[in-house]
Structure formats: structure tokens, C-alpha cells
Amino acid sequence: MRDFRSGRSIGPNGCAIHQCLSKYITLKNTSSEYDAVIAHCKSLFMKKTRDYGTAWRILRPSSITDQIFIKAQRIRTLEEKKVSKVGDDITGEYIGIINYCIIAMMQLESTDETPLELDPGAVEKDFDGKANETKELMFAKNHDYGEAWRDMRISSLTDLILMKILRVKQIEDNQGATLVSEGVKANYQDMLNYSVFALIKLGVA
């Protein structure tokens, strides 16, 4: 059997090899696109850290959850009405969700001894750690679901974020107790990944 594009002969497993190669290239692109989106979000996050310090440290987890909810709800409103009276588009809201998810995960690990004002270098290192851990989770799930997110509508990603944030609000109302569900951190990681997917589809990467 010949490859009609190159004229070269390929073996009986040629199609399978081509499929594996295509999947590898897609995953490699996803990795670089993911990194580009995170780098964009991190740049904004660190600039605000230098301007305002770590004032976000005063926020309780429930307040961060509400901030994410407000941003996701605004995205949905803009998707439905197609008009913004403030001038901001949904790209900035997705970036905000990503950075608030990072903040939420940082706050989950803070203690009473953690100072309100943190060193920017330590914040940057923690940001990288949380982003890398969440990226690893994304690739683990991508292995199981086969990049299904690429065929999803951005509006569906918005709805999934809203669903996840409502779950987090319910867990918080239950004082963190769950019976069979994953914990709060896993939900923040999912929301972060959904937002990255949306920004990739919006052309930010």
C-alpha cells in the first residue's frame, strides 16, 4: 500500500502509525498552547502583585468562590446578549477565573501563620507549582477523554465552570464535607483547565 501524498510504500500498520503521530502532534500543540495561556495569565498576575502586593490574602475561600461565580456568570450573560456596556470582553473574565483559581488553591494551603504580605518571588514559585500540577491533571484526563474539549462550544465550557462553582459553593455550605465527591481543590483545577481551553479556542495561545 502506498501513501498517495508521498508515493512511498507503507506497511499494514501505516494508518495506525499515522494516527498515533497525529495524536502526538495534537498533544504537543495542546501543551504549548496551554503554556502560552498560563504565561499570559501569570504575567498579569505578577504585575498586579507588584502593584498591590498580596492583598488577596485577606479573602476567605468563600469570597474567592463568589468572585469566580461573578466572572463566569458575566461570561454567560455576554455570550447570550452579545453586548457589553462595560467594554470588557470574555477573554479578560476567563483570565480572571484562572488567576482566582490559583489564588484559591494558594489560600487552601495557607495557615494562621501565613503572613498577609508575601514575597513576590515566593508567590511566583507557588503560582508555577499550582499551574504545573493542574496541567498534569489536564493531561491525565485528556488521555482518558481524547481531547474531547476541542469539539466543545465555548459556551459549554462556561456552563461547566458554573456547574463546578455551584458544587464548590455547596461543599463550602456543608463545611467542606463530601460523601462521594472530589474535594474543593479538584473543582478549582477543573475550572482552571476549562478556562484555559476556552482561551485556546478564543485564540489567546
pLDDT digits (tens, 9 = 90+) for 60-114: 989 999 999 999 999 999 999 876 555 468 999 999 999 999 999 999 999 889 9
**Comparing C-alpha atoms, which of 34, 28, 29, 23 is closest to residue 194?**
34
**Comparing C-alpha atoms, which of 122, 113, 132, 131 is closest to residue 53?**
122
Cα separation of 139 and 129, whole Å?
16
C-alpha 174: how far from chain center: 25
Using CA atoms, how far residue 31 sits from 37, 43, 106, 108, 128, in Å, is: 10, 18, 23, 26, 15
Q: What is the pLDDT of residues 42-55, one digit of tens each?
A: 999 999 999 999 99
**Packed helices 120-145 and 90-108: angle between N→C axes, nearest 10 degrees:** 110
Q: What is the pLDDT of residues 155-195, one digit of tens each?
A: 999 999 999 999 999 998 887 665 555 789 999 999 999 99
Cα separation of 37 and 170, whole Å?
29
Sorted by where each begins, the domain ranges of the chain are: 30-201
Q: What is the pLDDT of residues 1-24, one digit of tens each?
A: 444 344 444 445 555 544 544 444
Q: What is the pLDDT of residues 127-157, one digit of tens each?
A: 999 999 999 999 888 777 778 899 999 999 9
pLDDT at 33: 96
* CA distance from start to end of the chain: 39
pLDDT at 14: 54
Residue 97: CA count within 13 A, CB half-sphere? 34
With H, G, I as helix, E, B as strand and everything else as coil, classify residue 24: helix
What radius of gyration do the chain's Cα atoms show?
Answer: 20
Percentage of the chain modeled with pLDDT above 70: 80
